[in-house]
């Protein structure tokens, strides 16, 4: 009996590992998330009943329960060197000439890889099992971040034994046996969508935004509580070896192939190049296409392929001579700050924004740039009239990075507002935060933002109720809370400027139509801190009615998978605030009747695959993917002839071309929203 259970448990683990591999490494899931969750729950249950059978490498044991006191240090058995940089074709050519001279031959080839903008990590596998994950540190000694690394699903806890190739039995490298000691080096990174979502949540929490995905990845790996790291959606690409008990291959390209066979994630865009001209071509083409990627790159890495030749070339102590990076120029532009606005967000955060003389940057005209917060504004010393440099990294909104020329030597730097620019109330700096907030819960600025969010496409989706109309409605005193929207009459609207009979009717109809939006949209529209569309869906799937959500205790909320204690506290607090409760009661009295969730997702799409590409206005990529999953789709990131649907936002890139050439159905954001409403 005990043996049977052990066998069953091992089988489930193997199955889950295979599906993790297909999903996180290959990007080709074969089962729906629901099926996966079922397998996972079954394993968890069996392990709960038989705790003596739990092993450290079980997929259920990725996240450890207890925060660490601090990090141990690890001495790298093979040092982790850094890399020299080049910035243009001449420098790259000079690198090639040095190689040619040192090798006294023209007989060598290169491997060209993307330079992933994350942080270097060394993973040590012993007998195929992950034993240590360490940061680079000073190259000799790094931090032991194993607990955090284990939470990254793309990092296998156990390596897969590849197929043995019997036909090449004589060839030293033909077998895919895993060396007893295998150190894998690579980059931990945060995908762009995860980065944007994290910063959005941090802004709501009043925590400073991470400046870029690299900082976010580094910050997430250096957390002492792995449970938080687990929520950060980090990923990993393997690109080099450290210590090996036996060689994997005689060239780099084949080493990477071996990595793949072992189940390690290797970036799919790695190319061989026969000479430096071909290298240059590849570099230039990726410079143009980098916005197609779901993660940030800051250049390319060029490596001599043959390992014997690498040994001959050696290193300078600091960096190997056989490899070089080709750094892309950051996308920057110069312009003038015409004015600085202070915006009030829906939770009262005051954000300085620079209005700029329009300038072309990375293909789009930029008129505004974020100054993040007042500490940042003062650090940069930005004032009106200054010439500034703005920068755009990937899809992230442009930011001012430096003042190039002050308007005048004595120009005053923008003063931190002492009162809210909208309502004039007192402002307060968040405790241990950098954000300044308006303290007035009835501030018109906050109300307008909350209403805009409420009516937004991802929430109640009220067509015709845009920012300008909301502004008028609040200024005229017609709307003081969400419920007032549903009490508006045509005649009220006709009193507003520029409002004709027909458009007044359209607005009233659109508001009325939103009364029966799904419950999750209603919950999401309230703007509860930390609760966006995805968490709202998790809540409504669990509780199935508004009353139950409103009366849930913090303990009940925390018990839900994916609802952490911070979220639980925020939900509980929101629904125990008498003002919020009375607005909800008013909403219900005004005829708002959110639709209860239908049982689970629609089965009609099961086995259909969907891909999201480009930037959507109302969703981060992850949110859009989540919506598709809830509709029953399997979501992948590569388009093939089997793909049933491609959702294409702005700047969709090559995935759209591929979909078109394969005749795959492509829909835009509006059509996507229509599908979600079905």
CA 32 to chain CA centroid, Å, is 21
**CA distances from residue 93 to 73, 276, 494 in whole angstroms, order as listed:** 39, 7, 70
3-state secondary structure of 87: coil
By the rule CB under 6 A, 550 interacts with ligand IVH: no
- Give the alpha-carbon dihedral of 14, 16, 20, 21, to 10 degrees: 30
Shortest Å, Cβ 320 to ligand IVH:
5
Contacts of 124 (CB under 8 A, 6+ apart): 130, 131, 132, 133, 134, 181, 182, 183, 242, 243
Q: Is 461 in the site for ligand IVH (CB under 6 A)?
A: no
Reading the block at residue 250, the tokens are 């005689």
Nearer to ligand IVH, 96 or 298 (CB): 298
Residue 166: partners with Cβ closer than 8 Å, 6 or more residues away: none
Residue 22 per-residue DSSP state: I
Of 25, 116, 178, 673, the one binding ligand IVH (CB under 6 A) is: 116
> Comparing C-alpha atoms, which of 404, 328, 405 is closest to residue 86?
328
Among 15, 22, 81, 333, binds ligand IVH (CB under 6 A): 81
Residue 239 near ligand IVH by CB under 6 A:
yes
Candidates 77-85, 336-344, 495-503, 638-646; binding stretch for ligand IVH (CB under 6 A): 77-85
Q: Is 669 in the site for ligand IVH (CB under 6 A)?
A: no
Angle of CA points 636, 640, 642, to nearest 5° = 90
Could you say which residues in the range 181-200 bind ligand IVH, by CB under 6 A?
187
Minimum Å gap between C-beta 272 and ligand IVH is 14
Choosing from 92, 120, 147, 443, the residue that interacts with ligand IVH (CB under 6 A) is 120
Contact 307, 250 (CB under 8 A): yes
Piece of the chain touching ligand IVH by CB under 6 A; list 11-19, 76-84, 149-157, 588-596: 76-84
105 φ/ψ sector (left φ>0, alpha ψ -120 to 50, else beta): beta
Stretch that binds ligand IVH, among 95-103, 109-117, 199-207, 506-514 (CB under 6 A): 109-117
Q: Looking up tokens 């284990």, which residue turns up?
A: 150
Q: Which is nearer to ligand IVH, 149 or 403 (CB)?
A: 149
Q: Provide the minimum distance between the beta carbon of 324 and ligand IVH in the complex, in angstroms, as a whole number.
A: 10
Tokens of 26: 């290959």
Report which secondary-structure segment, H or E, holds 472.
helix 467-475
Token pair recorded at residue 373: 């917060």
Annotated catalytic residue 115 = yes
Cβ 167 to ligand IVH, closest distance in Å? 32
Residues 320-379, interacting with ligand IVH (CB under 6 A): 320, 323, 325
Structure tokens at 640: 């093939």
Does residue 301 bind ligand IVH (CB under 6 A)? yes
Round to whole Å and give the CA distance between 270 and 498: 57
- Residue 83, interface with ligand IVH (CB under 6 A)? yes
* Closest approach of ligand IVH to the CB of residue 182, in Å: 17
Both tokens of residue 514? 């939103």
The three-class DSSP label of residue 314 is coil
Name which of 236, 231, 234 is nearest 534 in CA terms.
231
- CB of residue 85 vs ligand IVH: minimum separation in angstroms? 7
CB of 314 to ligand IVH, least distance (A): 12
Segment interacting with ligand IVH, rule: CB under 6 A, options 25-33, 75-83, 305-313, 612-620: 75-83
The smaller minimum CB distance to ligand IVH, of residues 295 and 374, is found at 295
Residue closer to ligand IVH by CB (options 252, 542) is: 252
Go through 364-402 and write b for each residue having 16 or more CB atoms within 10 A of its CB, e for each that does not.
eebeebbbbbbebbeebebbbebebebbbbbbbebbbbe
In whole angstroms, the minimum distance from the beta carbon of 139 to ligand IVH comes to 9
In the bound state, the residue with its beta carbon closest to ligand IVH is 120
The smaller minimum CB distance to ligand IVH, of residues 279 and 436, is found at 279
Please report how close the Cβ of residue 504 comes to ligand IVH at its closest, in angstroms: 57
Give me the catalytic one of 106, 115, 164, 642: 115
**Binding span for ligand IVH by CB under 6 A among 115-123, 206-214, 377-385, 400-408:** 115-123
DSSP-H helix ranges across 544-615: 546-551, 554-559, 565-575, 578-589
Residue 197 in tokens:
């979502």
Choose the stretch contacting ligand IVH; rule: CB under 6 A; options: 12-20, 79-87, 538-546, 651-659: 79-87
User: Comparing C-alpha atoms, which of 189, 187, 165, 190 is closest to residue 258?
Assistant: 165
Q: Which of 82, 285, 364, 638 binds ligand IVH (CB under 6 A)?
A: 82
Q: How is residue 677 written in tokens?
A: 């409403």
Q: How many residues make contact with ligand IVH (CB under 6 A)? A: 14
Between 120 and 178, whose beta carbon lies closer to ligand IVH? 120
Of 34-42, 96-104, 114-122, 400-408: span binding ligand IVH (CB under 6 A): 114-122
Told to check if 614 binds ligand IVH by CB under 6 A, we report: no
By the rule CB under 6 A, 238 interacts with ligand IVH: no
Tell the smallest beta-carbon distance from residue 258 to ligand IVH (Å). 16
Asked if 420 and 344 touch (Cβ cutoff 8 Å), the reply is yes
Give me the residue label for tokens 């308006």: 438
Cβ-Cβ contacts under 8 Å for 10 (sequence gap 6 or more): none
Q: Site residues (CB under 6 A) for ligand IVH?
A: 81-83, 113, 115-116, 120, 187, 239-240, 301, 320, 323, 325
Which residues form the catalytic set?
115
């Amino acid at each position: 009996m005990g043996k049977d259970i052990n066998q069953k448990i091992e089988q489930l683990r193997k199955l889950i590992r295979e599906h993790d591999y297909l999903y996180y490494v290959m990007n080709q899931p074969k089962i729906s998330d629901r099926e996966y969750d079922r397998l996972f729950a079954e394993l968890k249950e069996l392990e709960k009943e038989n705790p003596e059978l739990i092993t450290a490498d079980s997929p259920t044991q990725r996240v450890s329960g207890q925060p660490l006191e601090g990090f141990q240090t690890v001495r790298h058995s093979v040092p982790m060197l850094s890399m020299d940089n080049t910035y243009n074709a001449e420098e790259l050519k000079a690198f090639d000439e040095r190689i040619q001279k040192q090798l006294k031959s023209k007989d060598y080839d290169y491997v060209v890889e993307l330079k992933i903008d994350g942080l270097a990590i060394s993973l040590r596998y012993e007998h195929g099992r992950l034993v240590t994950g360490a940061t680079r540190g000073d190259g000799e000694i790094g931090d032991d971040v194993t607990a955090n690394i284990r939470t990254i699903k793309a990092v296998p806890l156990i390596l897969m034994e590849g197929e043995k190739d019997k036909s090449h039995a004589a060839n030293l490298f033909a077998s895919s046996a895993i060396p007893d000691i295998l150190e894998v080096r690579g980059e931990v990174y945060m995908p762009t969508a995860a980065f944007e979502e994290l910063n959005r949540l941090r802004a709501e929490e009043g925590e400073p935004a991470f400046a870029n995905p690299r900082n976010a990845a580094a910050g997430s790996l250096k957390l002492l509580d792995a449970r938080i790291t687990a929520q950060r959606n980090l990923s990993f690409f393997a690109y080099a070896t450290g210590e090996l008990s036996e060689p994997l291959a005689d060239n780099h390209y084949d080493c990477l192939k071996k990595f793949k066979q072992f189940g390690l994630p290797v970036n799919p865009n790695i190319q061989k190049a026969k000479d430096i001209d071909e290298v240059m071509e590849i570099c230039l083409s990726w410079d143009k296409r980098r916005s197609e990627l779901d993660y940030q790159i800051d250049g390319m890495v060029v490596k001599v392929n043959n390992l014997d030749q690498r040994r001959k070339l050696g290193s300078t102590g600091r960096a190997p001579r056989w490899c070089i990076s080709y750094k892309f120029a950051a996308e920057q532009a110069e312009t003038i700050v015409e004015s600085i606005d202070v915006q009030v967000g829906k939770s009262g955060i005051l954000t300085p924004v620079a209005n700029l003389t329009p300038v072309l940057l990375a293909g789009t005209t930029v008129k505004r740039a974020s100054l993040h917060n007042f500490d940042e504004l003062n650090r940069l010393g930005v004032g009106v009239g200054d010439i500034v440099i703005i920068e755009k990294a990937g899809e992230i909104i442009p930011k001012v990075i430096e003042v190039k020329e002050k308007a005048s030597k004595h120009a005053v730097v923008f003063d931190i507002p002492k009162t809210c620019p909208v309502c004039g109330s007192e402002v307060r700096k968040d405790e241990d935060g950098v954000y300044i907030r308006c303290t007035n819960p009835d501030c018109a600025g906050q109300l307008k933002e909350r209403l805009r969010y409420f009516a937004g496409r991802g929430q109640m989706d009220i067509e015709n109720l845009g920012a300008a109309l909301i502004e008028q409605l609040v200024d005229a005193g017609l709307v003081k809370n969400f419920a007032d929207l549903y009490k508006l009459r045509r005649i009220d609207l006709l009193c507003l400027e520029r409002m004709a009979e027909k458009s007044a009717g359209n607005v009233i109809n659109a508001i009325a139509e939103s009364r029966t939006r799904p419950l999750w949209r209603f919950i999401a529209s309230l703007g509860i801190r930390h609760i966006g569309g995805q968490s709202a869906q998790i809540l409504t799937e669990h509780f199935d009615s508004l009353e139950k959500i409103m009366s849930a205790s913090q303990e009940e909320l925390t018990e839900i998978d994916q609802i952490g204690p911070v979220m639980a506290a925020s939900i509980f607090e929101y629904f125990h605030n008498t003002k919020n409760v009375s607005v909800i009661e008013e909403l219900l009295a005004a005829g708002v009747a959110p639709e209860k969730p239908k049982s689970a997702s629609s089965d009609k799409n099961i086995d259909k695959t969907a891909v999201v590409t480009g930037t959507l206005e109302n969703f981060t990529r992850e949110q859009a993917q989540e919506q598709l999953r809830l509709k029953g789709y399997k979501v992948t990131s590569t388009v093939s002839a089997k793909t049933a649907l491609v959702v294409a936002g702005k700047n969709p890139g090559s995935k759209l071309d591929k979909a078109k050439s394969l005749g795959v159905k492509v829909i835009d954001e509006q059509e996507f929203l229509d599908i979600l409403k079905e």
